[in-house]
Amino acid sequence: MLLAAIAPLFIHTTFVLHVMVLLCVWVVLSLSLNFITGYAGQLALGHAAFVAIGGYTGAILMLDYGISFWIAILVGATVAFASGLILGLLAMRLRGDYLGMVTMGFGEIVYLLAINLINITRGPMGLPGIPRATILSYTFKGEIPYYYVALLLVGITFFTIKRVLFSRFGRACLAMRDDETAAEAMGITSYRYKVLSFCISSGYAGLIGAFYVSWVTLISPDSFRLADSIIISAMITMGGIGSLYGPIFGGIAIGLLPELLRPLTSGPYLGSLRLAGVGLLMVVFIILKPAGLFGTDTRTIYLSLETFRNLFHRMKRLPGKGKNLA
């Protein structure tokens, strides 16, 4: 983390910084998808749709209403959260692969809406010229300020998700994932937890979507396709579905894939080769290493969390008011 924070001091190439911001975006997306797929155990394949919803909301607010970047990303996240609620209420009754297909269908519907609602989104032409972020009358220039904001968003996503996982809500989600019937018997209304975790996951996607459009200053429907949703799934598969650090690694590794393949080919073929590579990685990992590189065992997460919690409690008890804690 520290290394990532001081990296811009040594890196001056705009291209490298650009790739680093992009990696941050991918990492936030894979962390948030991991929340619904990894912790709540529900396969969602329409993540890019929520990025698009957040992105369009942010873009329209910033362009047409002149609202500041910081409020726009929050509103983007809220709108994505709300659309996650609508889809979640409808779809979370379904199980497994059916849920995957419906969320994928939702992604296609959002894409078609973005193409066809020309008076709002300008269709395939997209919305160009989205203003860059400002902070106290300083307008963001170049990649470095965006890099720090992206890094901040990665940090916020990571620590909030970790915090939620550690709460009653997170434990309920994990219990539901491991055995839904047993969890129901323990008094966990699984439907409610599924819908809420889907909303949370979508909210992060909306947040990063609004960030993304301000960073590239352009939004068009083609930025958020079905393929992008599946790339995010491949990231968490590679890192380990349900692991804490896996999605970070998977996001970086697959996010770097186009740069790694660049010497081999060029032009439009790069995109095809990259997606083919993503597919191949996904199959290979599922067959040979289904737990991903970081494993899916939640016990390791809990062990790490448990030490923190004990430490925390001990620190609180030190002044001698342990009674109040219970």
Binding residues for other proteins (CB under 8 A): 43, 45, 90-91, 93-98, 100-102, 104-106, 108-109, 112-113, 115-116, 226-227, 230, 233-234, 237, 265, 268-269, 272-276, 278-283, 286-287, 290
CB 59 within 8 Å of CB 213 = yes
| Residue 231 beta carbon to other proteins: minimum distance, rounded to whole angstroms | 9
CB 107 within 8 Å of CB 49 = yes
Q: Which is nearer to other proteins, 93 or 192 (CB)?
A: 93
33 in helix, strand or coil?
helix
Consecutive H or E run containing 65: none
Work out the widest C-alpha separation in the chain, in whole angstroms: 67
Integer Cα distance of 296 and 300 in angstroms: 9
Q: Which is nearer to other proteins, 70 or 98 (CB)?
A: 98
- CA neighbor of 216 nearest in space, from 80, 22, 65: 22
CB 195 within 8 Å of CB 85 = yes
| Residue 86 beta carbon to other proteins: minimum distance, rounded to whole angstroms | 11
| Residue 116 beta carbon to other proteins: minimum distance, rounded to whole angstroms | 4
Q: Which is nearer to other proteins, 119 or 324 (CB)?
A: 119
| Residue 236 beta carbon to other proteins: minimum distance, rounded to whole angstroms | 10
Q: Which is nearer to other proteins, 8 or 279 (CB)?
A: 279
| Residue 224 beta carbon to other proteins: minimum distance, rounded to whole angstroms | 15
Give burial (CB, 10 Å; 0-12/13-18/19+) of 276. exposed
Cα dist from 211 to 57, 83, 222, 252, 295, whole Å? 11, 18, 17, 18, 30
Q: Which is nearer to other proteins, 156 or 227 (CB)?
A: 227
Q: Which is nearer to other proteins, 96 or 142 (CB)?
A: 96
Look at the block and give the residue holding tokens 């790339």: 231
Helix axis angle, 190-216 to 144-166, nearest 10°: 170
| Residue 24 beta carbon to other proteins: minimum distance, rounded to whole angstroms | 24
Q: Which is nearer to other proteins, 178 or 306 (CB)?
A: 178
Integer Cα distance of 89 and 208 in angstroms: 23
Which residues are registered as beta bridge partners of 138?
135
Q: Which is nearer to other proteins, 153 or 236 (CB)?
A: 236
How many Cα atoms sit within 13 Å of 94 on the Cβ side?
15
| Residue 124 beta carbon to other proteins: minimum distance, rounded to whole angstroms | 11
| Residue 189 beta carbon to other proteins: minimum distance, rounded to whole angstroms | 18
